Structure 1
Amino acid sequence: MRELTVPPLATAPLVGGLADAVFDHAASDPGRVAFGRKDASGQWGEVTSREFRDEVLALAKGLLAQGVRFGDRVAVMSRTRYEWTLFDFALWTVGAQPVPVYPTSSADQVHWMLHDASVTACVVEHEDHAMTIGSVVDRLPLLKRLWQLDTGAVEELVAAGAHLGDEVVQRHRRAVTPESVATVIYTSGTTGRPKGCVLTHANFMFETDTLIERWEPVFHAKPGDEASTLLFLPLAHVFGRMVEIAAVRGRVKLGHQPTLTASALLPDLAAFRPTFVLAVPYIFEKVFHAARRKAEAEGKAGHFDKAVDVAVRYAEALEHRAFGEGPGPSATLRMQHQFFEKVVYGKVREALGGRVRHAMSGGSAMDRRMGLFFEGAGVTVFEGYGLTESTSAATANPPERTKYGTVGRPVPGTSVRIAEDGEVWLRGDNVFSGYLNDAEATALVLEDGWLATGDLGRLDEDGYLTITGRKKEILVTTSGKSVSPIVLEDRVRSHPLVAQCVVVGNNRPYIAALVTLDQEAVEHWLAMQSRAPLAPAELVRDPALEKEIRRAVIAANTLVSQAESIRTFRILAHPFSEEHGLLTPSLKLKRRAIEAAYAAEVDALYR
């Protein structure tokens, strides 16, 4: 199949903007709990629709009083927290355009984005962010205001606008149309400077309303309960931004968690108890590996591995039945599955808060076996695919027929085409209008309404899309063999001891790899062997560890031909980090930067 269009379920409203939902919900259902919010002591409280509307209105008055005007761009540099959502909707209420900035961005990155977007004001989370802005403020002549969340920015603005009447704000809100620019989101910049994607209110309304219409039943743990989700994705990323807007428009109780570490996230999942979650594969992998390490520490690794095998086979049987290819799980398999329900699967669900039965995954590819395990453990993970340029999801697995290992079918109202060279093209009302101040780059990716994604993929006979790589990342060996690194990297990375994997081999005689380690997993692995901790320099030379990583490489090589296989590898002492310019803020590998930083190690692979 080369092209597929799925008819639309939702259309963007002809009038209004994203902030209207806040005011409409407060009028129709003022007492509904719209948000969970942590207080200073760390306890979760509740914010109703009416209370949120009042906070948005008061903050919007303050923004107007401090000089923010219709069409102005205001940067927000923060981790994921309630105040970010409050500022988003207040800015949209007055017709301004938030420009999200990753909290880990460097001074040069911040300068580029704020300069390119002609930002006139900025909201930061804390003093470190303020200092980053301060270091480049002399080169930002349009920047007039800076507010800091941790020093009372909200209270300061509310006080500044207290003298304004509601009607002043409402006039601004009524001037917003679906075609108005909602935000400028900068791409993560794996190659070259980040580009500002211009997304309209209509883009987000179509995207979120479509997802709500098609997937709303899975937002609930059981029919009739209150839908809720804990947002821990960065709001600087289009995926997190889409979740924020969909929760407000879809009347889903929303909580915020600023830290992605297991020690911070897992307690909040247990306390907030969401009914569904939206995450990246990294989160599901962390939950899985943590559960296995715990089982191994208790001497039950074999028991856990048997439970995994049963879960995978059980889920595969369900998948085959959904596609008319089998009768479903056998009686024996159902009995085995029931046996492991309480002792293994229930504990895995507890790690996600206990109520989660459905989840959505995006941002990168999820291993098919990992998806099958969670399905067998009682959590259906709907994998999807999209870009900043497509306002997040352009494809997703449908609730009734999930095909693991794929990123699903086009979301309703979207078309997917596979070009002659295998590139994935997208078209729909969720596709952006272009890059800010860059007509040349826009012309390279937009043609007759089609977005050329730069990703390679294929559509199967059922219309499900599988992403096979990136055009710019295809490696060509000196023998002329073209190799897509993503399949190999994902399989190597699925080993519990591996943190990251970068496949190299462009203009080289064969394919090789650089591998980094998951420090927490390595410490557990050493402890289970009653071995003392090793320094990084010792670890990379440890024969037993090298044997484990070699197993991961051999497993990856079973997926490709001999000419495409990894011939040799090097274990690195330290992981790739954003701090050293080797990862984007969304944790994507910067391949060119990695190969440059480890040029000596790469050369050594070919001696």
Structure 2
Amino acid sequence: MSDMTHEPSFQDQGYISLTQLLERHAQTVPDEVAMRQKDMGIWQETTWRQYRDQTHAIAAGLVDLGIAHGEHVGIISENRQEWIVTQLGINSAAAVTCGIYPTSPANEVVHLLSSADCKVVFCEDQEQVDKVLEIRDKLPLLEHIVVFDAKGLYGYDANLWMTLDALIERGKTQLKHSPQAVTDRLAEQDPDDTALIVFTSGSTGLPKAAMISFRNIWSQMALLWDAVPSQTHQNILSYLPLCHVAEQAFSTMNAMARRMVVNFGESLRTIRTDLQEISPQMFFGVPRIWEKMQSELTVLGDRTGPLRRWLLHKALKSAQQRGAKPRAQWTGKQKLSYAFYRPFLYAPLLGYLGLARCNIAMTAAAPISPDLLAMFRGMGLPLIEIYGMTETTGAATLQPMDLNCQGRIGRAITGVESRVGEDGELLLRGPIIFKGYYKNDKATAETLQDGWLHTGDVVEEHEDGTLTIVDRKKDIIINAAGKNLSPSVIENTMKASPFIKECIVIGDQRKFLVALIQVDYDTVTTWAERQGLAYTTFKSLSENPKVRELVQNEVDKGNAQLAPVEQIKRFTLLTKELDHDDGEVTATMKVRRSTIAKQYEQQIEALFKESTAA
């Protein structure tokens, strides 16, 4: 492996598009492994030359289908090698890739495909094809459906769809007759052309189609190169949705810049096994992934004997206390405790999580509990918090490892300007800022003003120039006394408990705060079994009085860390898990507060009435 610090900086090498970078790798290291995909338990490898050849065949096939420069092509699929190959194939045809969450129901898919004017859509399998066929009459621009996995489709009308393999063969034939078909399209490509349309999460309304240019992507690659030290040809696991900008920045942009090996497991259900087999040197997870890992460690301890359980909990508590400070500030006693726990507890635990070789880990996409961040740092995992959004093409700020981990998002990365507006809103400017929203001039004008991106996030700026996210402007609670409260701070304090998966705080224009809480099924079932409690479903578990007592104790612990005005006075346990299909959360599992407020109005009002009566 070659150390990146010995090579010219990405910025100094000058602009290069994703497709040009792929061509460079195919020319300079053609037989080096670019991707691996697990199939029937076996990891299949793809080299940079094979990667490039496949994208060119897809591009030529799209040209043959009549896709013109700048037209839009959708992808509805879970993460797999075909996703990225198709994305680069679309771009090689000088067209625009529009990613759509595979969990999106048909009524959401019709909005996304129609608002993006997609002429072709690539579907992963029969499930996604069925969604598109269900809404086909509402998509007058849609001309072709291409399928990655055709299993179960052979009874369908063959005029309605084609396989990816058939498109590739069509492309190869096109290239025989017109060898310049793809290179001519690539020559037409302009740095300011739209490369990607990434839909916003839609937590406060319908998702908007954000346009990201090739120049935005190059800028993100260049800034990450300088901000996140790493080496070439390291392993990473791609498992978060590729239609999300964070995974694009990690598995497509950063991986292409650093010639990383992108690994695709068989499904989301095999992440634990995949991580253990790959043992990546770099890992990215949203807060929910890190919360899940924390819960796994708790379950691991709960399923062992009393002595081991006591020792594990003591070691994790020690890690949390130690990791709240940069390593350079650890006391002699803290260094000794780390040296004591590291070989026989921390190292095996990180190995169990699949992070034994991880030399840099990242979290982004939502606020994370400072205690959780501290615990992993104290175990020796260099976990940093990154802030970014769809409109910044990924990372915009980064938390340096030499600063205290106090829930801060660090400083704007080199090349990005930041300032705080009069109302506390974070404003950003730089080459990573998106072009605007497709066919939505009003929303674009509200978000981009005088070159500054209005993020919608309220921040606090510290003396050292670092920033702390207070909350989304739209989510700030103003209680009956006129006090501004941040629900995410309160919610993350509660979600630091391994027994609490979701917490939604309510209290706008009220005298106190209440909450809807969803238990973590895995950790609470393990606890319940140890207590000898009988349950049959999520509902029966949540309605058990002993489980309510457990959660009450966790809420009391959380409240002890909060100011009186921030404390949750009463809560109710949800009897079902929040669901994307029910519109309660987005595809990225962000809570849709307005929907929750309507759907659980009776339970919420009952909490305030009971509190008042008490």
TM over 0.5: yes
User: CA distance change for structure 1 residues 538 and 23 in 2, over 3 Å: closer, same or farther?
Assistant: closer
Which residue is equivalent to 1:347?
348
Q: Is the 8 A contact 1:13 1:178 kept in 2?
A: no
Shift of 1:273: 2.1
Question: C-alpha distance in 2, partners of 1:488/1:193?
Answer: 26
Matched residue of 1:211: which SS? helix
Q: What residue in structure 1 maps to residue 385 of structure 2? A: 383
Amino acid at match of 2:271: L
Summarize deviations over 1:474-528 as a string: whole Å, max 9, x none. Answer: 1222332322111111111121111111001123232110101111111100112
Match of 2:207 in 1: 194
Query: How far is the alpha carbon of 1:10 from its aligned partner?
Result: 5.6
Q: Aligned residue for 1:212?
A: 225
Closer, same or farther in 2 for the Cα pair 1:258/1:76, shift >3 Å?
Answer: farther
Q: Equivalents in 2 of 1:82, 1:400: separation in Å?
A: 36
How far apart, in 2, do the equivalents of 1:440 and 1:503 lie? 31
State the alpha-carbon separation in 1 of the partners of residues 78 and 536 from structure 2: 34
Using a 3 Å threshold, how does the CA distance of structure 1 residues 137 and 538 change in structure 2: closer, same or farther?
A: closer
Letter in 2 for 1:202: R
**Amino acid aligned to 2:102:** P
Offset of 1:102 from its aligned partner? 0.5
Could you tell which deviates more after superposition, 366-375 or 347-356? 347-356
**How far apart, CA to CA, are the structure 1 residues paired with 2:537 and 2:382?**
40
Instruction: Output the amino acid matched with 1:59.
Output: I
Structure 1 counterpart of 2:173, one-letter code: H
Asked whether the equivalents of residues 16 and 174 of structure 1 are also in contact (C-alpha less than 8 Å), the reply is: no
Further displaced range: 551-560 or 184-193? 551-560
Q: Which fold has the larger relative contact order, with Cα–Cα distance below 8 Å and residues 6 or more apart in sequence?
A: 1
Provide the C-alpha distance between the structure 1 equivalents of 2:589 and 2:325, rounded to a whole number of angstroms: 34
Residues 566 and 400 of structure 1: CA distance in aligned 2, closer, same or farther (over 3 Å): closer
Q: Which position in structure 2 is the counterpart of 1:60? A: 59
Contact 1:13 1:202 in 2 (8 A): no
The two structures have a TM-score, normalised by structure 1, of: 0.92
The answer to whether the Cα contact below 8 Å between 1:215 and 1:399 also exists between their aligned partners in 2 is no
Change (3 A) 1:404 1:482: closer
Match for 2:188: what amino acid?
Answer: A
Give the Cα separation in 2 of the matches to 1:537 and 1:185. Answer: 36
C-alpha displacement at 1:561, in angstroms?
2.7
The aligned counterpart of 1:27 is 27
Shift of 1:168: 1.6
1:307 aligns with 2:315: yes
Confirm whether residue 49 of structure 1 aligns to residue 48 of structure 2: yes
Give the C-alpha shift of residue 164 in structure 1: 2.6
1:554 to 553, 556, 580: 556
1:99 maps to a residue whose letter is: C
- 1:554 deviates by 2.4
Q: CA deviation at 1:446?
A: 1.0
Separation in structure 1 between the aligned mates of residue 320 and residue 300 of structure 2, nearest angstrom: 20
Cα distance between partner residues in 1 of 2:35 and 2:508: 49
- Alignment partner of 2:237 out of 225, 230, 239: 230
Residue in structure 2 matching 1:240, options 243, 247, 260: 247
The farther-off stretch of 150-159 and 485-494 is 150-159
How far apart are the structure 2 equivalents of 1:65 and 1:401?
54
TM-score (norm 2): 0.91
Residue type of the partner of 1:239?
A
Match of 2:568 among 566, 570, 581: 566
* Pair 537,102 (structure 1): closer, same or farther in 2 beyond 3 Å: closer
CA distance in 2: counterparts of 1:559 and 1:441, whole angstroms: 39
1:193-241 residue CA offsets vs partner (Å, 9 max, x unmatched): 1111011011111012210232133xx5xxxx84110011100111111
Q: Where do residues 319-338 of structure 1 align in structure 2 (5 Å cutoff)? A: 319=327, 321=328, 326=329, 328-330=330-332, 332-338=333-339
Q: What is the alpha-carbon distance in structure 1 between the residues aligned to residue 111 and residue 455 of structure 2?
A: 24
> What is residue 4 of structure 2 aligned with on the other side?
none
- 1:180 CA drift (Å): 0.8
Relative distance call for 1:248 and 1:188 in structure 2 (3 A) is same
How far residue 421 of structure 1 moved from its aligned partner, in angstroms, is 1.1
1:296 matches 2:277: no
Using the aligned pairs only, state the percent identity: 28
> Contact (CA 8 Å) 1:382, 1:402: kept in 2 or not?
no
Paired residue for 2:174, among 157, 160, 164? 164
- Name the counterpart of 1:115: 114
CA distance in 1, matches of 2:233, 2:108: 41
Give yes or no for contact 1:15–1:177 (8 Å, CA) kept in 2: no
The answer to whether the Cα contact below 8 Å between 1:415 and 1:426 also exists between their aligned partners in 2 is: yes
The CA distance in 2 between the partners of 1:286 and 1:15, in whole Å, is 39
Question: What is the CA distance between 1:297 and its match in structure 2?
Answer: 1.1
- Could you tell me how far apart the structure 1 residues matched to 2:233 and 2:248 are? 21
RMSD between superposed Cα atoms in Å: 1.9
Matches of 1:556 and 1:370, distance apart in 2:
13
Unaligned runs of 5+ in 2: 1-8, 151-161, 610-614
Cα distance, 1:534 vs structure 2 = 5.2
Compute the displacement of 1:310 (Å). Answer: 2.3
Deviation at 1:548, TM superposition (A): 2.1
Partner of 2:612: none
Say if 1:335 and 1:26 are closer, same or farther in 2 by CA, change over 3 A. Answer: same
SS of match in other structure, 2:112:
helix
Distance 2:235 2:508 in 1: 46
Q: Is the 8 A contact 2:15 2:215 kept in 1?
A: no
- What secondary structure, in the 3-state scheme, does the structure 1 residue paired with 2:274 have? helix
- After superposition, give the CA deviation of every residue in 1:385-414 in whole Å (9 maximum; x if it has no partner): 111011111101235556452111111101
Q: Contact 1:500–1:575 at 8 Å: present in 2 too?
A: no
Aligned equivalent of 1:361: 363
8 Å CA contact 1:99, 1:183 repeated in 2: yes
Q: 2:324·2:404 contact (CA, 8 Å) conserved in 1?
A: no
Could you list the per-position Cα deviations for residues 546-585 of structure 1 after superposition, in whole angstroms to 9, with x for gaps in the alignment?
Answer: 2221222223323443223211111111121112110000
Q: Residue 595 of structure 1 is aligned with which of 571, 594, 597? A: 597
Rounded to whole Å, the distance in 2 between the matches of 1:373 and 1:183 is 36
For each residue in 1:309-340, what CA deviation from the matched residue of structure 2 results, as whole angstroms up to 9, or x when unmatched?
22233334534x3xxxx4x330x333322221
After superposition, the Cα gap between the structure-2 partners of 1:404 and 1:49, relative to the gap in structure 1 and judged at 3 Å, is farther
CA contact (8 A) 1:77 1:102 kept: yes
**Cα deviation digits, residues 434-490 of structure 1 (max 9, x gap):** 111111111111111111111111121122111111111112223323221111111
- Offset at 1:545? 2.0
Letter in 2 for 1:196: A
**SS of residue paired to 2:275:** helix
